[in-house]
Chain A
Amino acid sequence: MSLQDTIAVRPVAEAVQRAQAGMGYWSRVRQRLLADRVTITVMALLACIIVMVLAAPLIATYDPGAGSVLTRLKSPGHPGHWLGTDEVGRDLWSRIVYGGRLSLLCSVAPVGLALLVGASLGLIAGYRGGIVNSIIMRSMDVLYAFPSILLAIAICGMLGSGLGNTILALTVTFIPPIVRISETVTAQVRSFEFVEAARASGARPLSIIRFHVLNNVLGPILVYATSLISISIILAAGLSFLGLGVTPPDAEWGLMLNNLRQAIWVNPLVAALPGVMIFITSMCFNLMSDGLRSAMDVRI
Chain B
Amino acid sequence: MWFFIVRRVLYAVPILLGVSFVVFLLMKMVPGDAADILIPPEAPKEVAAMIRAHFGLDQPIHIQYLRWLRAMASGDFGTSIFTNQPVADELFGALANTLKIALPAGVLGFSLGILLGALAAYYSGTWLDKLFSAFAITGVSLPHYWVGMVLVAIFAVMLNLLPGQGMGPEGFPSTWEHAKHLILPVVTLSLIPMGVVSRLIRANVLEIRSMEFVSALTAKGLKGHRVLFHIMKNAAPSALALVGLQFGYLLGGSILVETVFNWPGSGSLMNLAIFRRDIPVLSATILVLASIFVAINILVDVLQALIDPRIRR
Contact = CB atoms under 8 A, between A and B. Distances in A.
B30 A159 contact: yes
A257 to B, nearest CB: 6
Scoring B31, B141, B255 by chain A CB atoms within 10 A of each residue's CB, the highest score goes to B141
A158 B282 contact: yes
A65 interface: no
B116 interface: no
A201 interface: no
Interface string B278-312: 01001000100110011001000000000000000
A194 B259 CA distance: 54
A275 B141 CA distance: 11
A209 interface: no
B259 A241 contact: yes
- Most chain-A CB neighbours within 10 Å: which of B16, B18, B200? B18
Point out which of A5, A147, A237, A254 has the most chain B C-beta atoms below 10 A from its C-beta.
A147
Residues of A contacting B: mostly: helix
Identify the interface centre among B23, B255, B256: most chain A CB within 10 Å of its CB. Answer: B256
A137 to B, nearest CB: 12
A231 to B, nearest CB: 8
Interface residues of A, number: 48
A158 B23 CA distance: 10
Contacts of B30: 158-159
Interface string A260-283: 010011001001101100110011
A262 to B, nearest CB: 11
B18 A145 contact: yes
Contacts of A147: 245, 248-249, 251-253, 289-290, 293
Nearest to A257: B146
Interface string A1-32: 11011100000000000000000000000000
* Secondary structure class of chain B's binding surface, majority of residues: helix
B2 interface: no
Given A142-B22, A147-B249, A153 B270 contact: yes
B238 interface: yes
A219 B16 CA distance: 34
B216 interface: no
A5 B9 CA distance: 22
Interface stretch (B54-62, B117-125, B150-158, B171-179): B150-158
A117 interface: no
Interface residues of B, number: 60
Contacts of B270: 153, 157
B253 A145 contact: no
A88 interface: no
A191 interface: no
A278 B143 contact: yes
A279 B143 CA distance: 6
A170 interface: no
Contact of B249 (A148, A159, A287): A148
Interface string B115-141: 000000000000000000000011011
Contact of B253 (A149, A265, A272): A149
B36 to A, nearest CB: 13
A240 to B, nearest CB: 11
A241 B27 CA distance: 23
Given A149-B253, A257-B149, A2 B137 contact: no
A279 B196 contact: no
A79 B22 CA distance: 53
A274 B196 CA distance: 24
Nearest to B17: A142
B149 A154 contact: no
Contacts of B228: none
Contact of B293 (A5, A139, A146, A153): A146
B41 interface: no
B214 interface: no
Nearest to A148: B249
A275 to B, nearest CB: 3
B197 to A, nearest CB: 9
Contacts of A188: none
Interface centre among B23, B143, B149, B290 (most CB of A within 10 A): B143
B18 to A, nearest CB: 3
A76 interface: no
B27 to A, nearest CB: 7
16 contacts: A2-B242, A5-B200, A138-B18, A141-B18, A145-B15, A147-B251, A149-B253, A154-B282, A237-B143, A241-B256, A242-B256, A261-B149, A268-B153, A268-B154, A271-B149, A283-B138
Interface of A: 1-2, 4-6, 138-139, 141-143, 145-150, 153-155, 157-160, 230, 234, 237-238, 241-244, 254, 257, 261, 264-265, 268, 271-272, 274-275, 278-279, 282-283, 286-287, 290
Given A142-B18, A237-B143, 17 more contacts: A2-B245, A5-B242, A6-B241, A145-B16, A147-B245, A147-B249, A147-B252, A153-B252, A153-B255, A154-B23, A234-B144, A241-B145, A261-B149, A268-B158, A275-B149, A279-B143, A283-B138
